[in-house]
């Protein structure tokens, strides 16, 4: 048993961070809220509003999991993590899950002892350049100066891409995205590179977005997904199937507005099992039977979540692209609920 | 008749350890020593247990393994694939030393300048200097570093502006000031250049010898030799002469505008420039206050006496005021240098690859050896601080008034 | 004989005014600004510097936008207000939207009063130190109690926690009283320290837990009903406020649509007005070209056109204009970047035709100045209305957030209470299972408390067994946690707790700074005395500590707090990150305070020490009664300066993931609304720091002067 020194109560046995190593669900239930690691702020994916209420695409995943467990999407403590602290926070049990645009890689999954439970956004690293530069492909950037956030996989991808194409570049390491935007706009670098979703968000804030183009090359695969500690498979299942429920809900046409209606029973057995009117799927993962219904009612299905936070009608304006359902030529493919 | 007797000889009693002032200090020290050793033993044992519970070991072997990450600025040869973590740390250390060294020089110059200006009888300039000093002293350095980096990128022209003719290179097309870097010509050392360097070093030695001779002669005869002119001549003439005799062994590599950037020559990158300027301006604000206090500390009678002796104002400054003011200025100056060196660890804000970024940042992240990495980094800063304060204390001791 | 001497003055001449150059402003200017060639040069340079700065910044500062909900809206307002010319301007809307966040972080707004009260009481507690001659000495008691009061106010918890902490001193005092007659002063002091430490480290936690448990057991019957009542009461209120929120959201949508309707024609007009003259300029550039023009002239014309047109985006262009403009821009760009200059005739024809066509479009559908003014006024009115609506929206959102949090707390507690009996029944079994599993672990994994980062070469069977043991331990921990949380929640008599993660902004900077300085004072004084001591070991230890701390930058110490502090503590102890930072900052500050106090000790005349010795006072008495009171008084300015330095340095906690004002500025930029905003946040933060540090600095200067006067 670990002891945690807190103000107010001085010590709180077990309750606090670091207690759980295995039975995460019991711990979350006892605590009454989910500790979810998010970024300290990334446009469209996670940011607190003026009241300190977090919102965004990654935040939606956290809220969906909380709704699945408690039936209450607000039962989440958002723990902001930096690129450096995110894995420590997860490994030490300070957070129960991490939904922080983290790329699923072999070494993170195995060597760092985490389990990625799925992909909530298929991203890739791209480049943005001013139209005035007259560049139409990243391969024409030989000798260019490129702004890049330090301490991320983007740095390694960039090196790989340029080495593979046998061209040179000058890297300008920057600390935050805001600094990167500012450096790029002032012309201190010819191109800015980060995840394509981030580039779209960045471009949307420019005074004249038309003067900048995002180059067609995507130099890396960046499947971003939520992850949990390795070893607690029951907990991993809950997060994984909550995400799958959101994806499946879109496929079957279940939305936050019609979910209550559909939960009364339909003639599609798949929907019935998903929403808990048939079978005992909830009990199998230690939750109530209407877990998926609660998650969908709270945050909407995957498509709704996407459209609300980063979709084409938001300032960020991302197209679905790879993140469309498999039926629409995308990569989203939820295993069946049976 | 009084009889003096020796006090009764008593055996040593245990309570004397506490009550007898002869032994008490010893007791306290022994107790303190034991407590200290207990503390360290506890610390080490806790650390061992905690390391073991995380399955980690304590060894420095990781320093010999390849680093595998790029460093944006390096004074020595460094290659991401083959260079070790130790070399990456060395690159960081050299970068820290570079910015600290440059910063100390510029901060001193600016600090003295602003300190004197603040005492100026010109109302406007003394107010302006006051605004500068208070502005820098009362706002966090981190904010200034970020702001100055942003100002540099916003206000200096981008290389693209040189192509369209909105900006042009200065100093006869040899230096380009851009918001990425300042590009300058770099010397290319050809054959025979070693001879030239030797000549230059010899002329430096010559200057030093002449100065000594002139000082000795002034002491002996009162005759003043034209030190400045002779020094300047010695500095330039032999080197230039040999430069042509040897057939121009040193040439310059000029930066030239290519598709995206300037290439060739030397460059002073924007991040280093911003960090350097911010550290210098910030520290100079503190030094300016020290200089002002130092000058004010010299009593007015001293300058009046100097004038009464018929010394001209600049000689009064050089021979009377400054030597006395320096004694007051130097000790706080040392601590300002130390502060500047330590503050250079804020390089993180502009992405400059100092020792905290290489050894204390990426290396720790990649290897998970936080205990070892932090220990090495702490030791480096500690040694650096001790060296600076040691060197300056020696200097200080020499200049200090010998009280009789 | 009287003689009338005509050259003797009979009456004094009235005193004359000094010459014009020797009085008033003129004299002042002559003496202060123009007294010599160097001075004149400096004056000119200063005026040039002031002019340079103001000419660049004044426009930006004056064009301030306060009514805007996002950066895009700011830009809309600016472009509407400034139809022609430079339409850059400060967007203070972000400060209006987020100033409470910058001050308090995500501290619950309902408890802002606690934070503000803590600050006011801080000032009261500092009164006797800062203005010792003006306030009653009795306030010292309050000052002494304040360090215990402040954490309670800010972090919440039961009221007895600070009292229990203070009781440690009482225990120490009792021990001193009891032991001194028995074993003398030294034993008394040592006993007092040991007793206090035992109280704090060993006794306090169980007592605190027992108190919570006792109160909880008394209240538990009523608590369940009260919780159900709370839940029932909250449900309709939440429904109501959700309805309110939806209504306001709809209103905002309507207001945004209205604003956009007003904006569209104004934007087009702005574009038309500003692009017209520019097109003329472009045309003029090429008109000047002729048969005699050289390639260089041609290049200059193209470059000039490129520069003029760079800032025009076709998005808001009048109909048909966008593609045309784009065509001109592309033509110019291609010519410039590809070094493919046409001959003069061709260029004039090419650009001329396009420009004429564009000019034709801009002349059409013009808006009269009166219409424009009406439109501008309407737009600003719409923005004002929108901003007011958004503020209501934020207020409702905050209220809703508070209520849902309250409901969540009630639900959780209720669930735990309902499971309490089962949990308690299960506890012995879980405890036995956990202990058994741990005891049965093979030696290779017996010490491990985590299965995340295992050493290499372990047998898979051992790892599996370790996982089982960890699972049993975790089950036990969450069982105990559930029970304990009931005691903690139900048994609390006092303030609602606020987790450290909610702390941020200037509040966090102040807390770290104040706590660091306050707690470092005693340690710093001891270190200073140690450094002066002639006991070799004590002296060397003090010097070593001070030099090590001062030799390493604060950021390294903060990283130590983040990465390493948990290694140094007994296994299983975990500290809150904020607490870890405060500990580290305290150690850091104590080295600096020690140097300041040492300066004070050194500045004291030797005679004071000798006088104390002559009176026969022992070391502690002489320090306490004679030396320290005087030395500390001299040191106060230095301590204040150390505080200013420390307060500024708290911005570094940004690098270990805490939300100081600078960290918050990054978070604010991560919202869709304020992404891309830069200087406004930095300026606001900088100004706040400046006001605080500058006034503290002035105070310390005032104190120094006063001390100089007193010592004269």
Residue C51: pLDDT over 90: yes
Within-domain flag for B171: no
Question: How many residues belong to chain A?
Answer: 338
Within-domain flag for B326: yes
More reliable by pLDDT, B139 or C627: B139
Residues of B in contact with C338 (CB under 8 A): none
State whether B237 and B140 are in the same domain. no
Taking an 8 Å cut-off on Cβ atoms, the answer to whether B53 and C449 are in contact is yes
* pLDDT band, residue A8 (cuts 50/70/90): very low
More reliable by pLDDT, C525 or C35: C525
Considering A52-66, A207-221, B320-334, the range whose residues carry the highest mean pLDDT is A52-66
Residue C693: pLDDT over 90: yes
- Average pLDDT value for residue range A85-108: 84
Q: Which residues pair with C558 in a beta bridge?
A: none
CA distance C685 to C693: 12
Taking an 8 Å cut-off on Cβ atoms, the answer to whether A50 and C100 are in contact is yes
pLDDT digits (tens, 9 = 90+) for C435-478: 888 888 887 777 777 665 566 677 778 878 887 887 788 788 87
Q: Which residues pair with B184 in a beta bridge?
A: B266
CA distance A175 to B349: 6
Considering B248-262, B263-277, C271-285, C322-336, the range whose residues carry the highest mean pLDDT is B263-277
Taking an 8 Å cut-off on Cβ atoms, the answer to whether A51 and C452 are in contact is no
Rounded to a whole number of angstroms, the CA Rg of chain B reads 29
Question: How many residues belong to chain C?
Answer: 712
- In 10 A of CB C561, how many CB atoms? 24
Within-domain flag for B18: no
Least confident of A150-154, B380-384, C143-147: A150-154
State the DSSP code for C314: G
CA distance C481 to C468: 20
Q: Which residue has the tokens 């629409």?
A: A328
Taking an 8 Å cut-off on Cβ atoms, the answer to whether A42 and C337 are in contact is no
Q: Backbone dihedral region of A10: left (phi > 0), alpha (psi from -120 to 50 degrees) or beta?
A: left
State whether B216 and B328 are in the same domain. no
Q: What's the CATH number where B394 sits? A: 1.10.3720.10
Taking an 8 Å cut-off on Cβ atoms, the answer to whether A183 and B260 are in contact is no
Q: Touching check for C404 and chain A: CB below 8 Å?
A: yes
Task: List Cβ neighbours of C191 (8 Å cut-off, separation of 6 or more).
Answer: C175, C176, C178, C179, C183
Buried b (16+ CB within 10 A) or exposed e, C168-186: beebbeebbeebbeeeeeb
**Residue ranges of domains in chain C:** 16-58, 426-495, 498-712
* pLDDT band, residue B4 (cuts 50/70/90): low
pLDDT digits (tens, 9 = 90+) for C597-626: 988 888 888 888 888 888 888 887 888 888
- Average pLDDT value for residue range C363-381: 83
- Going from the C-alpha of C135 to that of each of B214, C126, C132, C698, the distances in angstroms are 66, 11, 6, 21
Nearest neighbour of A15 by CB, restricted to C398, C485, C672: C485
- In 10 A of CB C17, how many CB atoms? 9
Total tally of structural domains belonging to chain B: 2
Q: Which residues pair with B269 in a beta bridge?
A: B181
Nearest partner of C325 among C360, C300, C293, C371, judged by Cα:
C360
State whether B234 and B372 are in the same domain. no
* pLDDT band, residue C689 (cuts 50/70/90): very high
* pLDDT band, residue C291 (cuts 50/70/90): low
Q: Percent of chain B beyond pLDDT 90?
A: 26
Taking an 8 Å cut-off on Cβ atoms, the answer to whether B164 and C541 are in contact is no
Within-domain flag for B31: no
Q: Which of C101, C107, C199, C669 to mutate to test the interface with A (most CBs of A within 10 A)?
A: C669
Residue ranges of E strands in C183-337: none
Residue C206: pLDDT over 80: yes
DSSP string, A92-153: TTS-SEE-S--B--HHHHHTT-EEE---SEEE-EEEEEEGGG---SGGG-TTEEEEEETTSH
Instruction: Give the distance from residue C572's alpha carbon to the nearest chain A alpha carbon, in angstroms.
Output: 5
Tokens representing B27 are 């007791």
pLDDT of amino acid A20: 39
Instruction: Give the distance from residue A60's alpha carbon to the nearest chain C alpha carbon, in angstroms.
Output: 15
More reliable by pLDDT, C97 or B327: C97
Q: Which of C667, C668, C679 to mutate to test the interface with A (most CBs of A within 10 A)?
A: C667
pLDDT digits (tens, 9 = 90+) for A271-321: 999 998 888 888 888 899 999 999 999 999 999 999 999 988 888 888 888
Q: Which of A188, A192, A211, A212 to mutate to test the interface with B (most CBs of B within 10 A)?
A: A188
State whether B387 and B276 are in the same domain. yes
* pLDDT band, residue C4 (cuts 50/70/90): low
- Tell me which chains share at least 3 CB pairs under 8 Å with chain C: A, B
Q: Backbone dihedral region of A38: left (phi > 0), alpha (psi from -120 to 50 degrees) or beta?
A: beta
pLDDT digits (tens, 9 = 90+) for B98-137: 999 999 999 999 999 999 888 888 888 889 999 999 999 9
DSSP string, C622-681: HIIIIIHHHHHHHHHHHHHHHHHHHHHHGGGGGGGT---HHHHHHHHHTSTTTTT--HHH
State whether B107 and B211 are in the same domain. no
pLDDT of amino acid C607: 87
pLDDT of amino acid C362: 72
Task: List Cβ neighbours of A257 (8 Å cut-off, separation of 6 or more).
Answer: none
Residues of B in contact with A86 (CB under 8 A): none
Q: Which residues pair with A127 in a beta bridge?
A: A193
Q: Which residues pair with B250 in a beta bridge?
A: B189
State whether B150 and B274 are in the same domain. yes
State whether B141 and B280 are in the same domain. yes
For all residues of chain C together, what is the average pLDDT?
84
Residue A266: pLDDT over 90: no
| Domain with B207 in it | 190-250
Q: How many CB pairs lie under 8 A apart between chains A and B?
A: 71
Neighbour-count burial of B53, counting CB atoms closer than 10 A to its CB (0-12 exposed, 13-18 middle, 19+ buried): middle
* pLDDT band, residue A7 (cuts 50/70/90): very low
- Average pLDDT value for residue range C374-395: 91
Least confident of A258-267, B370-379, B382-391, C344-353: C344-353
Of all residues in chain A, the one with the smallest CA distance to B260 is A144
pLDDT of amino acid C500: 85
Of all residues in chain C, the one with the smallest CA distance to B356 is C556
pLDDT of amino acid A151: 64
Q: Which of C78, C93, C493, C671 to mutate to test the interface with A (most CBs of A within 10 A)?
A: C671
User: Is the distance from CB of A174 to CB of A148 less than 8 angstroms?
Assistant: yes
Q: For chain A, list the domains and their CATH numbers.
A: 20-122+224-328 (3.40.190.10), 125-220 (3.40.190.10)
pLDDT of amino acid C651: 92
Sign of the Cα torsion B230, B236, B239, B241 reads negative
C498-712 fold: MetI-like fold (1.10.3720)
Range C368-373 contact pairs with CB under 8 angstroms and sequence separation of 24 or more: C372/C83, C372/C266, C372/C269
Interface of A with C in 97-136 (CB under 8 A): 113, 131-132, 134
Nearest neighbour of A150 by CB, restricted to B159, B259, B351: B351
More reliable by pLDDT, A118 or A206: A118
Q: Which residue has the tokens 């306290």?
A: B28
- Average pLDDT value for residue range A228-254: 92
For all residues of chain A together, what is the average pLDDT?
85
* pLDDT band, residue C315 (cuts 50/70/90): low
Q: In a 3-state reduction of DSSP, which class is residue C143?
A: helix
- Average pLDDT value for residue range A243-253: 94
Residue A256: pLDDT over 70: yes
Least confident of A45-49, B12-16, B115-119, B392-396: B12-16
State whether B285 and B389 are in the same domain. yes
- Tell me which chains share at least 3 CB pairs under 8 Å with chain B: A, C
Residue C151: pLDDT over 80: yes
pLDDT digits (tens, 9 = 90+) for B340-349: 999 999 988 8
Residue A4: pLDDT over 70: no
Taking an 8 Å cut-off on Cβ atoms, the answer to whether A10 and C311 are in contact is no
């Amino acid at each position: 048993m670990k002891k945690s020194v807190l103000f107010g109560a001085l010590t709180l046995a077990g309750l606090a961070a670091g207690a759980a190593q295995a039975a995460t669900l019991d711990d979350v239930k006892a605590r009454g809220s989910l500790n979810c690691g998010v970024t300290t702020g990334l446009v469209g994916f996670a940011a607190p509003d003026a009241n300190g209420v977090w919102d965004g695409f990654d935040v939606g995943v956290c809220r969906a999991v909380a709704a699945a467990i408690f039936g209450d999407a607000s039962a989440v403590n958002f723990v902001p993590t930096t690129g450096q602290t995110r894995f420590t926070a997860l490994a030490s049990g300070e957070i129960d899950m991490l939904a922080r645009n983290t790329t699923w890689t072999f070494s993170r999954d195995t060597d760092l002892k985490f389990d990625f439970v799925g992909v909530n956004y298929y991203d890739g690293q791209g480049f943005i350049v001013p139209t005035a530069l007259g560049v139409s492909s990243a391969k024409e950037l030989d000798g260019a100066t490129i702004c890049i956030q330090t301490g991320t996989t983007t740095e390694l991808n960039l090196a790989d891409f340029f080495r593979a194409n046998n061209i040179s570049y000058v890297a300008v390491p920057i600390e935050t995205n805001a600094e990167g935007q500012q450096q790029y706009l002032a012309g201190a670098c010819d191109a800015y590179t980060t995840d394509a979703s981030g580039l779209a968000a960045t471009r949307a804030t420019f005074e004249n977005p038309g003067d900048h183009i995002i180059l067609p090359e995507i130099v890396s695969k960046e499947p971003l997904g939520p992850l949990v500690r390795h070893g607690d498979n029951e907990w991993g299942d809950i997060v994984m199937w909550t995400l799958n429920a959101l994806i499946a809900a879109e496929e079957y046409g279940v939305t936050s507005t019609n979910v209550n209606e559909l939960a009364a029973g339909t003639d599609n057995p798949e929907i019935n099992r998903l929403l808990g009117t048939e079978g005992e799927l909830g009990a199998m993962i230690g939750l109530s039977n209407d877990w998926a219904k609660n998650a969908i009612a709270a945050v909407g299905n995957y498509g709704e979540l996407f459209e609300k936070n980063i979709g084409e009608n938001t300032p960020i304006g991302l197209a679905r692209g790879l993140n469309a359902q498999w039926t629409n030529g995308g990569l989203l493919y939820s295993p069946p609920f049976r | 008749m009084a009889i003096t007797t020796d006090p009764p000889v008593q055996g040593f009693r245990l309570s004397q350890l506490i009550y007898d002032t002869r032994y008490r200090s010893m007791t306290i020290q022994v107790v303190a020593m034991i407590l200290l050793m207990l503390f360290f033993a506890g610390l080490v044992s806790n650390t061992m247990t905690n390391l073991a519970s995380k399955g980690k070991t304590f060894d420095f072997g990781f320093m010999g393994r390849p680093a595998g990450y790029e460093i944006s600025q390096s004074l020595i040869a460094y290659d991401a694939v083959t260079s070790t973590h130790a070399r990456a740390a060395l690159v960081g250390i050299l970068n820290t030393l570079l910015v600290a060294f440059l910063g100390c020089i510029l901060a001193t110059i600016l600090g003295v300048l602003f300190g004197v200006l603040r005492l100026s009888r010109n109302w406007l300039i003394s107010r302006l200097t006051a605004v500068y000093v208070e502005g820098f002293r009362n706002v966090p350095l981190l904010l200034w570093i970020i702001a100055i980096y942003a100002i540099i990128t916003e206000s200096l022209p981008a290389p693209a502006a040189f192509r369209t003719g909105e900006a042009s290179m200065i100093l006869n097309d040899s230096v380009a000031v851009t918001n990425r870097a300042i590009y300058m010509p770099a010397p290319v050392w050809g054959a025979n250049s070693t001879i030239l360097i030797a000549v230059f070093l010899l002329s430096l030695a010559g200057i030093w010898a002449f100065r000594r001779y002139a000082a000795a002669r002034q002491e002996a005869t009162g005759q003043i030799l034209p030190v400045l002119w002779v020094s300047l001549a010695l500095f330039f003439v032999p080197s230039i002469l040999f430069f042509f005799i040897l057939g121009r062994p040193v040439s310059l590599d000029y930066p030239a505008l290519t598709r995206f950037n300037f290439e060739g020559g030397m460059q002073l990158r924007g991040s280093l420039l911003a960090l350097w300027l911010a550290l210098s301006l910030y520290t100079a604000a503190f030094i300016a206050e020290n200089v002002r206090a130092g000058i004010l500390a010299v009593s007015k009678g001293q300058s009046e006496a100097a004038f009464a002796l018929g010394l001209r104002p600049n000689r009064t400054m050089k021979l009377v005021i400054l030597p006395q003011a320096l004694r007051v200025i130097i000790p706080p100056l040392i601590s300002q240098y130390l502060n500047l060196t330590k503050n250079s660890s804020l390089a993180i804000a502009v992405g400059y690859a100092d020792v905290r970024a290489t050894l204390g940042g990426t290396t720790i992240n990649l290897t998970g050896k936080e205990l070892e990495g932090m220990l090495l980094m702490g030791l480096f800063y500690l040694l650096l601080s001790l060296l600076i304060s040691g060197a300056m204390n020696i200097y200080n001791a020499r200049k200090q008034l010998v009280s009789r | 004989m009287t003689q009338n001497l005509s050259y003797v003055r009979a009456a004094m001449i009235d005193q004359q005014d000094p010459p014009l150059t020797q009085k008033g402003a003129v004299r002042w200017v002559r003496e202060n600004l123009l007294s010599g060639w160097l001075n004149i040069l400096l004056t000119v340079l200063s005026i040039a510097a002031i002019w340079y700065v103001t000419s660049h910044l004044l426009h930006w500062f004056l064009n301030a936008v306060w009514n805007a909900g996002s950066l895009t809206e700011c830009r809309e307002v600016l472009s509407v207000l400034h139809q022609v010319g430079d339409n850059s301007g400060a967007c203070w809307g972000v400060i209006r939207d987020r100033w409470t966040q910058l001050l308090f972080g995500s501290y619950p707004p309902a408890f802002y009063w606690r934070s503000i009260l803590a600050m006011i009481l801080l000032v009261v507690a500092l009164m006797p130190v800062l203005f010792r001659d003006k306030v009653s000495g009795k306030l010292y008691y309050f000052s002494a109690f304040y360090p215990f009061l402040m954490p309670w106010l800010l972090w919440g918890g039961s009221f007895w926690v600070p009292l229990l902490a203070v009781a440690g001193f009482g225990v120490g005092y009792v021990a001193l009283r009891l032991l001194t007659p028995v074993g003398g002063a030294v034993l008394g002091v040592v006993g007092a320290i040991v007793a206090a430490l035992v109280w704090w480290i060993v006794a306090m936690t169980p007592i605190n837990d027992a108190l919570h448990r006792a109160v909880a057991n008394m209240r538990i019957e009523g608590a369940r009903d009260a919780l159900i009542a709370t839940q029932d009461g909250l449900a309709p209120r939440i429904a109501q406020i959700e309805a309110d929120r939806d209504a306001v959201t709809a209103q905002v949508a309507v207001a945004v649509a209205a604003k956009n309707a007003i904006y569209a024609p104004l934007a087009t007009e702005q574009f038309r007005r500003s692009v017209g003259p520019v097109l003329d300029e472009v045309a003029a550039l090429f008109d000047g070209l002729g048969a005699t023009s050289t390639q260089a002239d041609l290049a200059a014309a193209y470059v000039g056109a490129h520069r003029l047109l760079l800032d025009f985006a076709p998005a808001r262009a009048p109909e048909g204009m966008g593609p045309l403009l784009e065509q001109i821009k592309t033509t110019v760009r291609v010519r410039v970047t590809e070094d493919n200059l046409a001959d003069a005739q061709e260029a004039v024809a090419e650009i001329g035709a396009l420009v004429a066509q564009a000019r034709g479009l801009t002349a059409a559908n013009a808006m009269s100045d009166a219409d424009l003014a009406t439109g501008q006024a309407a737009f600003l009115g719409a923005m004002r209305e929108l901003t007011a609506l958004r503020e209501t929206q934020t207020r409702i959102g905050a209220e809703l957030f508070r209520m849902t949090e309250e409901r969540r707390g009630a639900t959780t507690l209720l669930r735990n209470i309902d499971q309490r009996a089962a949990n308690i029944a299960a506890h012995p079994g879980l405890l036995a299972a956990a202990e058994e599993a741990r005891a049965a672990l093979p030696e290779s994994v017996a010490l491990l408390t985590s299965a995340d980062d295992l050493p290499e070469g372990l047998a898979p069977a051992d790892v599996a067994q370790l996982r089982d043991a960890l699972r049993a331990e975790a089950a036990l921990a969450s069982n105990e946690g559930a029970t304990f949380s009931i005691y903690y929640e139900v048994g609390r008599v006092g303030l609602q707790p606020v987790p450290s993660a909610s702390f941020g902004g200037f509040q966090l900077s102040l807390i770290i700074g104040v706590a660091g300085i306050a707690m470092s004072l005693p340690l710093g004084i001891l270190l200073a005395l140690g450094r002066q001591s002639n006991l070799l070991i004590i002296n060397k230890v003090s010097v070593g500590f001070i030099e090590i701390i001062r030799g390493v930058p604060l950021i390294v110490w903060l990283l130590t707090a983040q990465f390493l502090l948990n290694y140094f503590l007994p296994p299983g102890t975990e500290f809150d990150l904020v607490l870890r930072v405060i500990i580290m900052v305290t150690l850091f500050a104590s080295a600096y305070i020690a140097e300041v106090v040492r300066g004070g000790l050194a500045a004291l005349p030797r005679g004071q020490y000798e006088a104390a010795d002559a009176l026969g006072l022992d070391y502690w008495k002489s320090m306490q009664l004679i030396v320290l009171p005087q030395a500390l008084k001299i040191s106060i300015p230095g301590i204040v300066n150390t505080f200013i330095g420390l307060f500024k340095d708290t911005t570094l906690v940004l690098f270990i993931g805490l939300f100081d004002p600078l960290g918050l500025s990054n978070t604010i930029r991560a919202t869709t609304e304020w992404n891309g905003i830069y200087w406004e946040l930095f300026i606001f933060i900088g100004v706040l720091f400046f006001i605080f540090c500058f006034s503290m600095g002035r105070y310390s200067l005032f104190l120094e002067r006063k001390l100089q006067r007193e010592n004269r």
